[in-house]
A = this chain, B = another copy of it.
Amino acid sequence: MPPSIAVIAPGSMGSAIAARLVEHGCKVPTLLEGRSEATRRRAAAAGMTGASAAEIADADLILSIVPPGEAVALAEQLATVINRNSRKPLIVDCNAVNVETIRRIEDIVLSSGARLVDAAIIGLPPKPGTKGPAFYVSGDAASDIAVLGQLGLDLRLIEGPIGAASALKMSYAGINKGLTGLGAAMVLAATRAGAADALRDELALSLPHVQARLANALPDMLPKAYRWVAEMREIAGFLGEDHPAALIYEGFARLFEHIAADVQGQGTEAAQLVAFAERCKAKT
């Protein structure tokens, strides 16, 4: 019988992962208490079933897929319920948290008698017919969730302790989303100075792949900028407060905050970024 795999919460990533597990015959309970009507509908569409915290604790695996700021609180909530249970699930923390945070979560989970796998989801939510996203896992218990690889997830084992998968997520996002941040900052500054077309031409000549990437990534980033603020601060925390590079990611957090405010407001800078991306595509 396929395992029972709880997925919390039914956000866009969580519900898409859940849909894939359901396709492969799993029962996927989730917490719906206090959630909006839209979230309940998304969960139902994915084939997830509403459950109590006690029922969640009875699952074989629990996938934690929440905004980074909620990861510790969810671990605490689960640990409280699991503490009372004789059956102990395996918790898979899939959140974009830094290494220090995942170690805190490990302490919380272990104290309840459950075990923890550190996971990093890299890529967009799975769509029917596609393979991704990559689902990296690390920690002693990682080899015990090999079953996820037979349930439609692109599972990749990292030989490393709790923290290795989170470090991968942080460092990959630091390069990938960081590049989008650099592009946004510099395209806006070049536009203000009347040098946007020259920048596009020079990128096309000497960094064509970077230009092509920015042409897609800049418009894609706009609706997500508000979410990237906290993720950039997790990366700063990953580097450590005193590390000189932490300042880079605090800067990205403020830049995405600024862009998110523009998207919500006048949209002047958002329009400049879209215009640049369109001129890149027109040329290539």
Interface of chain A, helix or strand or loop or mixed? helix
A257 in complex: contacting residue of B160, B175, B244, CB < 8 Å = B244
Bound Cα distance from A205 to B132, whole angstroms: 11
- What's the minimum C-beta distance from A134 to chain B, rounded to whole angstroms? 7
| Closest B residue by C-beta to A252 | B248
Are B250 and A158 touching (Cβ within 8 A)?
A: no
Copies of this chain, tallied across the complex: 2
Bound Cα distance from A250 to B250, whole angstroms: 11
| Closest B residue by C-beta to A173 | B186
A224 at the interface (CB under 8 A from B): no
Q: Which of A28-36, A48-56, A187-195 is near enough to bind chain B?
A: A187-195
A203 at the interface (CB under 8 A from B): yes
Are B258 and A254 touching (Cβ within 8 A)?
A: no
Contacts of A164 in B (CB 8 A): 193-195, 198
Are B189 and A239 touching (Cβ within 8 A)?
A: yes
A179 at the interface (CB under 8 A from B): yes
Are B160 and A194 touching (Cβ within 8 A)?
A: yes
| Closest B residue by C-beta to A258 | B244
Contacts of A166 in B (CB 8 A): 193
- What's the minimum C-beta distance from A231 to chain B, rounded to whole angstroms? 14
Are B198 and A170 touching (Cβ within 8 A)?
A: no
Are A179 and B179 touching (Cβ within 8 A)?
A: yes
- What's the minimum C-beta distance from A213 to chain B, rounded to whole angstroms? 8
Contacts of A189 in B (CB 8 A): 167, 170-171, 174, 238-239, 245
Q: Give residues in A with beta carbon < 8 Å to B.
A: 99, 122-123, 134, 136, 156, 158, 160-161, 163-168, 170-172, 174-176, 178-179, 181-183, 185-187, 189-190, 192-195, 198-199, 201-203, 205-207, 209-210, 213, 238-239, 244-252, 254-255, 257-258
Interchain Cβ contacts under 8 Å between A and B, 22 examples: A123-B206, A134-B206, A136-B198, A163-B194, A165-B195, A167-B189, A167-B195, A168-B195, A171-B186, A171-B193, A174-B186, A175-B186, A181-B248, A210-B213, A244-B255, A245-B251, A245-B258, A246-B251, A247-B248, A249-B251, A250-B251, A251-B251
